[in-house]
């Protein structure tokens, strides 16, 4: 996709090296051996499962072993796995870019293409990474129209650059029968149109992908139930890193392995009493994402302030079991079930459920710079929580672009917020 | 009165229900209280909608973008308007989308039928309302031709369209007494058409002589929402001559018509026309927008494009790089991005950039129309 070998903004040594090696199959053989060593050296089974899940998808996407389909974060990946392809989420890749120090290059590349720094950095970095040629080559792009303007627009651009088919799932606003049918028809259209355009794609695996997804959901619901335990048995700071699994791997059998291992890990923590935050003072619900570049923010909150992030909005399972006999309608229903879509009351109700289920003392919304759909609800969220007597903090920052985040300021605000909860409990 | 947030909401429906209607252009920007309701890093137009509405007004908000979706939530949540309707507008114009949108329009008709004086939206009223709007659009399109001839300033055209919009909501200026319980009849249709034409003629009567515009570099203007008149006035002040304004405050309002043939389903025709009208950056229609802008530039002799994006308008921010690249590669046209809040055109910074753009265009060759 990108201008290979050309000098452009962000085309750093790191980027050039990644671009050169990411498509070599032997790299994944070497990486597999490294993961085996990590496993022997005591990395936790769920961490190893997660790495293997991501690595497996990356290998198939980068080496062209299977067709790669770019999607936005809220496309049910059952659709992609069911078609026999491998999903790739550029906005998730932006999180990796931040974690591994590529983000500045990707953001610079996007800005050199006239993308405004006022746009959400997850999408901006995705477009920039595409320009730098560090993403796998997409065979097709599927975007949903709900929740996020940046996702669909950035992926549309990437499909044009790649010269591959672009499909927009124009999700209706309401959940009426008419709306469901419209969305179901669009899903079905993709499932039958794409095989005519991309070799190696077939809808035959849809039912199986949905069965895998359902089985995984059972495992995941157990993880969620275990996380209701107080003190919190798993750090939210770490859970926010695994949002990538939650967003991008439904329908992949590795995801079930990951959640099984995670449940086992959490059960072990509860049995041993070795909680990550032993003297837990408060339990928070975290809305939206977190900074993925190197930051001490979550450590400060959970370890120094002894305040657990007990659960995260973007890890909340909002759909019920899907029907493998009616896969297209199921995928449509899953999209429509998203609590971030539709009137704000749906999101407020979801937050209420999480507060009740996870015994939450306070709510923090990480106000990702440029995230209109989430930040636009802040005043209503604040008012709603105030009526419930739950303290709320709207914490400005940026998950990818370090230039928009001030760690010291954020820490000060979190410290003050914890004091506020202290005072509230003392009353 | 019914107030709408977007050019994709047909005014034909409220008119047929006996409700005067107009697009809600909030030219004076946000009120101070908006800060508490929507974030500061948010679309200025969405923020400007945060105000107390008259209890008798019905507000129709289109699901244009993330910002408008949250504006809809905030208006409802904070009780700013007594009645708020959300119109789900598809992002494509294929037959399935047209069919879905027609269903949404029927739902809107039922909603405003209940609150409108006519009690319901009768098909005959709706066809006449479409006819009246077609004539209003045609009158605006006719006036826009004066831009090409160089006898009308773009800012004046824009003002005329604002004036027509105000007229739509002010029945007293239609020159007749509208018995609104009877819906939208032939007499009302004719009266509205006459009133719109008179308003347009008034605008044209203050047109300038061609020499006044001769020698100025012709440009097109595009973007999502212009917010107010200041950007176009600023472009003119910089010595450029806008010859087309692809905006939901201008060309995207009038450059289409609805087929009122009685053998067709009027809701399907309304849906088809509105979804197929010159597209806003929110729509997904491949490179149609770029091709259209290039064709307009060729038709009017524009040497470049000035693109205005309201601050924090994601759709504009994503649209501009595509438009810039497409116009450069396919038509050899340069583009300038201006962004800002309300009153952006009254700032020296924007004027300086517009002047620099003019100098750049002048350096590329002889200005058109000399």
> Which residue numbers of A have CB closer than 8 Å to B's CBs?
113-116, 118-120, 145, 147-150, 152-154, 156-157, 160, 166, 168, 170, 172-174, 178-179, 182, 185-186, 343-344, 367, 369-370, 372-373, 375-380, 383
Q: Summarize pLDDT for A241-262 with one digit per residue, the tens.
A: 999 999 999 999 999 999 999 9
Task: Tell me which residue range forms the domain holding A193.
Answer: 13-203
The answer to the question of residue A114 being in a domain is yes
The CATH number linked to A26 is: 3.40.50.11890
DSSP H or E run through B232: helix B230-237
pLDDT band at A6 (very low <50, low <70, confident <90, very high): very low
Whole-number Cα distances in Å, A79 to A52, A174, A184, A260, B288? 21, 21, 12, 23, 29
Per residue in B332-341, pLDDT (tens digit) is 999 999 999 9
| Mean pLDDT, rounded, for A14-21 | 92
Contact B90 A113 (CB under 8 A): no
Residues in chain B: 370
CA angle A354, A360, A365 (to 5 degrees): 75
Taking the CA of residue B316 as centre, how many other CA atoms within 13 Å lie in the half-sphere pointing to its CB? 28
A303: in domain: no
Q: What are the DSSP E strand ranges found in chain B?
A: 2-4, 21-23, 58-62, 83-87, 217-223, 240-246, 305-310, 335-340
Q: B36 contacts in A (CB within 8 Å)?
A: 379
What pLDDT score does A29 carry? 96
Give A317→chain B minimum CA distance, Å: 23
Is the CB of residue B314 less than 8 Å away from at least one CB of chain A? yes
Alpha helices (H) along A100-168: 103-112, 121-132, 149-162
pLDDT digits (tens, 9 = 90+) for A297-321: 999 999 999 999 999 999 999 999 9
- Distance from the Cα of B134 to chain A's closest Cα (Å) equals 29
Q: What is the structure's pLDDT at A273?
A: 96
Residues in chain A closer than 8 A to B100 (CB atoms)? 172, 178-179, 182
Nearest to B90 among A150, A170, A373 (CB): A170
Q: Which of A119, A160, A343 sits opposite B317 (nearest CB)?
A: A119
Rounded to a whole number, what is the distance in angstroms from the first to the last CA of chain A? 59
Res A213: pLDDT: 98
Q: For residue B258, what are the contacts with CB-CB under 8 A and spacing of at least 6? A: B10, B12, B130, B133, B134, B269, B270, B273, B274
Q: Which of A153, A369, A375 sits opposite B318 (nearest CB)?
A: A153
The confidence score (pLDDT) of residue B213 equals: 65
Q: Is residue A389 part of a domain?
A: no
- List chain B residues with CB under 8 Å of A158: none
In a domain? residue A295: no
Cβ-count burial of B40 within 10 angstroms (0-12 exposed, 13-18 middle, 19+ buried)?
exposed
C-alpha distance from B316 to closest chain A C-alpha (Å): 10
Report residue B66 as tokens.
């993330």
Question: Taking Cα atoms as reference points, which of A287, A423, A288, A420 lies closest to residue A355?
Answer: A287
Question: What's the pLDDT score for residue A7?
Answer: 54
* Mean of pLDDT values over B129-156: 93
What mean pLDDT comes out for the span B253-267?
A: 96
Question: Are A376 and B38 a contacting pair at CB < 8 A?
Answer: yes
Q: What is the mean pLDDT of chain B?
A: 93
Q: What are the structural domains, with CATH classification, of chain B? A: 210-364 (3.40.50.11900)
Please give, rounded to a whole number of angstroms, the shortest distance from the CA of A420 to a CA of chain B. 21
Task: Dump pLDDT digits (tens) for A20-48.
Answer: 999 999 999 999 999 999 999 999 999 99
In a domain, A113, yes or no: yes
Q: Quick one: CA torsion of A302, A366, A226, A265, rounded to 10 degrees?
A: -60
Is the pLDDT confidence value at B196 over 90?
A: yes
Burial zone of B319 (CB within 10 Å; 0-12 exposed, 13-18 middle, 19+ buried): buried
So what's the ipTM on this one? 0.95
Q: Which of B63, B73, B91 sits opposite A380 (nearest CB)?
A: B73
H or E stretch at B279: none
Assess whether pLDDT exceeds 70 at residue B63: yes
Contact at CB, B66 and A149, closer than 8 angstroms: yes
What pLDDT shows up at residue A148? 93
Confidence at residue A239, expressed as pLDDT on a 0 to 100 scale: 98
Q: What is the distance between the alpha carbons of residues B138 and A405, in angstroms, rounded to a whole number?
A: 51
Beta strands in A288-354 (DSSP E): 307-312
Selected residues 64-93 of chain B with any CB under 8 Å from a CB in chain A: 65-67, 69-74, 76-78, 86, 88, 90-92
What does the pLDDT look like over B327-365, one tens digit per residue? 999 999 999 999 999 999 999 999 999 999 999 999 987
Is A244 inside a domain boundary? no
User: Of B319, B309, B304, B311, which Cα lies nearest the Cα of B354?
Assistant: B304
Q: How many residues does chain A have?
A: 427
Q: Give the pLDDT of residue A346.
A: 97
Of B38, B103, B322, the CB nearest to A157: B322
In a domain, A61, yes or no: yes
With CB atoms and an 8 Å threshold, state whether B69 touches A149: no
Q: Please determine, for residue B18, whether its predicted confidence score (pLDDT) is greater than 80.
A: yes
- Residue to substitute from B282, B284, B291, B337, interface A, most A β-carbons within 10 A: B284
Q: Quick check: bond before A237 cis, omega within 30? A: no
> In which band, very low, low, confident or very high, does the pLDDT at B366 lie, cut at 50, 70 and 90?
low
**Which chain B positions have a beta carbon within 8 Å of A157's beta carbon?**
318, 321-322
Beta bridge partners of B3: B22, B59
Contacts of B88 in chain A (CB under 8 A): 172-174, 179
Q: What is the pLDDT of residue A352?
A: 98
B209: confidence class by pLDDT, cuts 50, 70, 90:
low
Please indicate whether, in this complex, the C-beta atoms of B92 and A170 are within 8 angstroms of each other: yes
Average pLDDT on B114-123 reads 90
* Residues 6 or more apart in contact with residue B285 via CB below 8 angstroms: B92, B93, B279
> Can you name the residues that pair with B220 across neighbouring β-strands?
B244, B305
Q: Which residues of B touch A344 (CB under 8 A)?
A: 70, 73, 77
Q: Who contacts A26 (Cβ-Cβ below 8 Å, separation ≥6)?
A: none
Q: Is the model's pLDDT at B208 over the cut of 90? A: no
Number of domains within chain A = 1
Phi, psi (degrees; rounded to nearest 5) at A423: -65, -40
DSSP-assigned beta bridge partners for residue A71: A142
A376 interaction partners in chain B (CB closer than 8 Å):
38-39, 42, 46, 66-67, 69-71, 73-74
In this predicted structure, what is the pLDDT of residue B27? 79
- The average pLDDT across A354-364 equals 98
**Among B75, B67, B6, B5, which residue's Cα sits nearest to residue B41?**
B67
| pLDDT tens-digit series, residues A66-84 | 999 999 999 999 999 999 9
Kindly state whether residue A320 falls inside one of the protein's structural domains: no
Look at A119 and B314 and tell me if their CB atoms are within 8 Å.
Answer: yes
Give residue A1's pLDDT band: very low, low, confident or very high (50, 70, 90): very low
User: What is the share, in percent, of chain A residues with pLDDT greater than 90?
Assistant: 95
Q: Which of A152, A153, A178 to mutate to test the interface with B (most CBs of B within 10 A)?
A: A153
Mean pLDDT (whole number) for A341-364: 98
Residue B78 has what pLDDT? 95
Q: pLDDT band at A4, cuts 50/70/90? A: very low
CB contact (8 A) between residue A373 and residue B92: no
Chain B residues lying within 8 Å of A179, measured CB to CB: 88, 100
Confidence of residue A140 (pLDDT cuts 50, 70, 90): very high
What residues in B contact A174, CB-CB < 8 Å? 88
Q: What pLDDT shows up at residue A2? A: 44
Please give the pLDDT value at position B31. Answer: 74
């Amino acid at each position: 996709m990108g201008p290979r070998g050309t000098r452009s903004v962000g085309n750093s040594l790191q980027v050039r090296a990644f671009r050169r090696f990411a498509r070599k199959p032997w790299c994944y053989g070497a990486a597999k051996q490294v993961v085996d060593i990590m496993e022997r050296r005591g990395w936790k089974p769920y961490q190893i499962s997660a790495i293997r899940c991501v690595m497996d998808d990356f290998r198939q996407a980068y080496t062209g072993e299977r067709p790669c389909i770019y999607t936005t974060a809220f496309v049910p990946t059952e659709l992609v796995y069911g078609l026999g392809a491998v999903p790739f989420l550029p906005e998730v890749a932006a999180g990796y870019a931040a974690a591994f120090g590529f983000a500045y290059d990707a953001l610079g590349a996007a800005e050199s293409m006239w993308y405004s720094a006022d746009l959400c950095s997850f999408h901006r970095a995705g477009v920039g990474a595409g320009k730098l040629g560090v993403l796998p080559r997409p065979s097709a792009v599927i975007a949903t129209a709900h929740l996020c303007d940046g996702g669909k627009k950035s992926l549309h651009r990437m499909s044009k650059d790649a010269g591959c088919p672009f499909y927009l799932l124009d999700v209706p606003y309401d959940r009426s029968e008419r709306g469901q049918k419209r969305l179901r028809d669009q899903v079905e259209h993709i499932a039958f149109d794409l095989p005519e355009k991309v070799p190696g794609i077939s809808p035959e695996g849809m039912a199986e992908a949905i069965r895998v997804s359902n089985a995984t959901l059972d495992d995941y619901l157990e993880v969620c139930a275990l996380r209701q335990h107080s003190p919190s048995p798993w750090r939210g700071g770490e859970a926010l890193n695994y949002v990538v699994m939650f967003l991008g791997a439904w329908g992949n059998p590795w995801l079930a392995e990951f959640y099984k291992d995670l449940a086992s890990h959490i059960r072990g923590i509860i049995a041993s009493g070795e909680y990550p935050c032993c003297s837990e003072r408060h339990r928070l619900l975290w809305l939206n994402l977190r900074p993925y570049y190197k930051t001490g923010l979550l450590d400060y909150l959970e370890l120094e302030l002894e305040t657990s992030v007990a659960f995260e909005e973007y890890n909340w399972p909002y759909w019920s079991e899907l029907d493998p006999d009616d896969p297209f309608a199921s995928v449509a229903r899953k999209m429509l079930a998203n609590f971030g879509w539709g009137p704000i009351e749906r999101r407020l109700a979801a937050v209420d459920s999480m507060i009740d289920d996870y015994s939450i003392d306070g709510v923090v919304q990480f106000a990702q710079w440029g995230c209109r759909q989430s930040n636009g609800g802040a005043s209503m969220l604040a008012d709603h929580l105030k009526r419930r007597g739950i303290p709320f903090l709207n914490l400005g920052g940026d998950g990818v672009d370090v230039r928009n985040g001030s760690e010291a300021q954020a820490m000060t605000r979190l410290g003050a917020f914890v004091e506020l909860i202290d005072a509230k409990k003392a009353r | 009165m019914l107030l709408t947030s977007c050019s994709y909401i047909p005014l034909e429906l409220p008119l047929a229900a006996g409700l005067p209607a107009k697009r809600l252009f909030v030219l004076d920007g946000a009120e101070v209280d908006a800060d508490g309701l929507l974030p500061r890093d948010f679309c200025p137009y969405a923020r400007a909608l945060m105000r107390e509405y008259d209890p008798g007004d019905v507000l129709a908000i289109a699901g244009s973008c993330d910002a408008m979706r949250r504006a809809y939530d905030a208006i409802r949540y904070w009780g700013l308007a007594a009645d708020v309707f959300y119109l789900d507008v598809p992002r494509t114009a294929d037959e399935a989308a047209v069919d879905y949108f027609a269903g949404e329009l029927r739902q809107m008709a039922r909603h405003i039928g209940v609150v409108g004086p006519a009690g319901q939206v009768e098909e005959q009223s709706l066809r006449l309302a479409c006819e009246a709007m077609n004539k209003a659009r045609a009158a605006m399109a006719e006036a826009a031709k004066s831009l090409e001839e160089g006898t009308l300033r773009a800012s004046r055209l824009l003002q005329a369209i604002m004036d027509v919009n105000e007229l739509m909501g002010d029945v007293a200026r239609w020159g007749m007494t509208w018995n609104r319980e009877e819906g939208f009849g032939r007499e009302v249709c004719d009266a509205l058409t006459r009133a719109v034409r008179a308003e347009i003629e008034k605008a044209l009567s203050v047109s300038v002589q061609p020499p006044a515009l001769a020698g100025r570099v012709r440009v097109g203007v595009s973007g999502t929402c212009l917010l107010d008149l200041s950007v176009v006035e600023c472009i003119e002040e910089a010595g450029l001559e806008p010859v087309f304004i692809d905006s939901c405050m201008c060309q995207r309002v009038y450059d289409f018509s609805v087929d009122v043939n009685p053998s067709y389903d009027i809701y399907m025709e309304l849906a088809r026309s509105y979804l197929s009208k010159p597209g806003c950056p929110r729509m997904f229609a491949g490179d149609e927008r770029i091709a259209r802008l290039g064709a307009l530039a060729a038709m009017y002799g524009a040497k470049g494009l000035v693109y205005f994006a309201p601050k924090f308008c994601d759709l504009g921010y994503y649209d501009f790089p595509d438009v810039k690249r497409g116009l450069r590669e396919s038509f050899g046209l340069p583009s300038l991005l201006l962004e800002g809040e309300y009153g952006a055109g009254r700032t020296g910074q924007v004027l300086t950039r517009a002047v620099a753009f003019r100098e750049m265009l002048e350096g590329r060759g002889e200005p058109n129309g000399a």
